[in-house]
Amino acid sequence: MHNFSKALLILIPLTAGTPAAEDQTTPGAAETTAKGPAVLWRDPVDIASRNLYYGPGGKAHEPQGTFTFVKEDLTGSNPKFDVVDQDGVKWRVKMGEEARPETAAARLVWAVGYFANEDYFMPVLRVQNMPRLGRGGNLVSKDGTIHNVRLKRHLKDQKKIGIWSWEKNPFTNTREWYGLRVLMAVINNWDLKDYNNSIYQVLGDSPEQRYVVSDLGSSFGTTGLNWNPKGTLKAYRHSKWVNRMAPDYIDFNVPSRPAFGTFLAIPEVVQRLGLVWIGRHIPTQDADWMGRLLAQLSPNQIRDAFRGAGYNPQEVEGFSLVVERRIGELTRQKIISTRQPSLHERSLLN
């Protein structure tokens, strides 16, 4: 069976560089009840003063106190469940390898003006009334203790009303749309299925529809689907993130095609090939715009994004060096697709 799958993978055309004609798994846009304008990006103004250790929710929304189990969520590829804290705030807990990279990615995305979930990393979480889970039960101790999890805060003033498509949305061909695609390349977020994009209806005196990349867990690792863990410094550091730079546009390598020998069902292969275009043909001026936004972050802010995600000091420094190098390449409009690591960087990978 594996040999048959491998042969089929090789026979699939590897020239996908434009949007897929149609994705039958993609629901339509927001419901007709949506109110207010559609918003993808808002001028952050105060980038240099943003706190990337705590992220969009700030210290005030940091999870604390006691947590009680509510229900398990069986969607997606990572084990998740909902809890409520002592103040009645609902949280979604994600376990597994995506907890750290998703937390760090959310902070960088938010820092430059895009909307992001209020994600927090907790090295130790204790949950009352914890049952046996259908997924990830081996990660939970008998007393309801789980290590290294991400908590996403549920906000009462907003509700998810749909998902949005990278190809067809109100922002197609805008600077902000291209800039978001550049940002996904900077952080190596390769899992860019439409299903991972959410539209949130924000209520209140000024209602609006916020377009969010709501699942960032596949960041800071490889450029595409393979068997390496997500959020891995060595994979991120050695990945080739640019394929080509022309005078007017850049072809990023994120997301890349499935790795040779990766055994996938044919529909999954076709879907992955259909995502490749998202990193291709980005106008140089829009890549430069995103680079200039990111360049307003201080070295300490970038490190805080990884500190807040629970990485150890060596990993914090290593990830930050790669992010800083990529920002420098964008702002110089001179992308370096391959470079030998410095002695200091090599020491961080050992």
- pTM surpassing 0.75? yes
pLDDT tens per residue, range 34-71 = 899 999 999 999 999 999 999 999 999 999 999 999 99
235-263 burial, b at 16+ Cβ within 10 Å, e below that, comes to bbbebebbbebeeebbbbbbbbbbeeebb
pLDDT tens per residue, range 144-153 = 999 999 999 9
- Report pLDDT for 334: 53
Mean pLDDT of the chain: 87
- Report pLDDT for 26: 40
Dihedrals φ, ψ of 114, to 5°?
-85, 160
Q: What angle do CA 343, 316, 251 make, to 5 degrees?
A: 75
pLDDT tens per residue, range 320-341 = 999 999 999 998 855 543 344 5
Sequence-ordered list of residues with C-beta below 8 angstroms from that of 337, at least 6 positions apart, any chain: 240, 241, 242, 243, 253
**What's the average model confidence in pLDDT over 103-130?**
98
Give the separation between CA 242 and CA 259, rounded to whole angstroms: 16
- Report pLDDT for 19: 52
> Does residue 189 contact residue 216 with C-beta atoms inside 8 Å?
yes
- Report pLDDT for 229: 77
pLDDT tens per residue, range 183-194 = 999 999 999 999
Q: Which of 36-40, 157-161, 344-348 has the lowest mean pLDDT?
A: 344-348
Give the separation between CA 207 and CA 239, rounded to whole angstroms: 41
Give the separation between CA 20 and CA 314, rounded to whole angstroms: 40
- Report pLDDT for 76: 82
Under the banding of pLDDT at 50, 70 and 90, the label for residue 307 is very high
47-76 burial, b at 16+ Cβ within 10 Å, e below that, comes to beebebbbbbbeeeebbeeebebbebeeee
Dihedrals φ, ψ of 315, to 5°?
-70, -40
The helix, strand and coil proportions of the chain, stated in percent and rounded to the nearest 5, come to: 35, 20, 50
pLDDT surpassing 80 at residue 7: no
User: 272 by DSSP, 3-state: which?
Assistant: helix
**What's the average model confidence in pLDDT over 158-178?**
97
* CA distances for 39 relative to 45, 72, 114, 168, 207, angstroms: 16, 31, 9, 14, 11
pLDDT surpassing 90 at residue 230: no
- Report pLDDT for 1: 39
Reading phi first (left if > 0) and then psi (alpha if -120 to 50, else beta), residue 334 is in beta
Q: What angle do CA 260, 226, 216 make, to 5 degrees?
A: 140
> Does residue 230 contact residue 178 with C-beta atoms inside 8 Å?
no
Give the separation between CA 223 and CA 278, rounded to whole angstroms: 12
* CA distances for 147 relative to 62, 96, 123, 139, angstroms: 17, 9, 5, 8
Q: Is 22 exposed, middle or buried (0-12, 13-18, 19+ CB in 10 A)?
A: exposed
- Report pLDDT for 269: 74
> Does residue 209 contact residue 39 with C-beta atoms inside 8 Å?
yes
**What's the average model confidence in pLDDT over 225-240?**
88
Distance of alpha carbon 344 from its chain centroid, rounded?
27
Under the banding of pLDDT at 50, 70 and 90, the label for residue 24 is very low
Q: Which tokens hold the place of 60?
A: 């005030």
- Report pLDDT for 20: 44
**What's the average model confidence in pLDDT over 251-270?**
78
**What's the average model confidence in pLDDT over 149-178?**
97
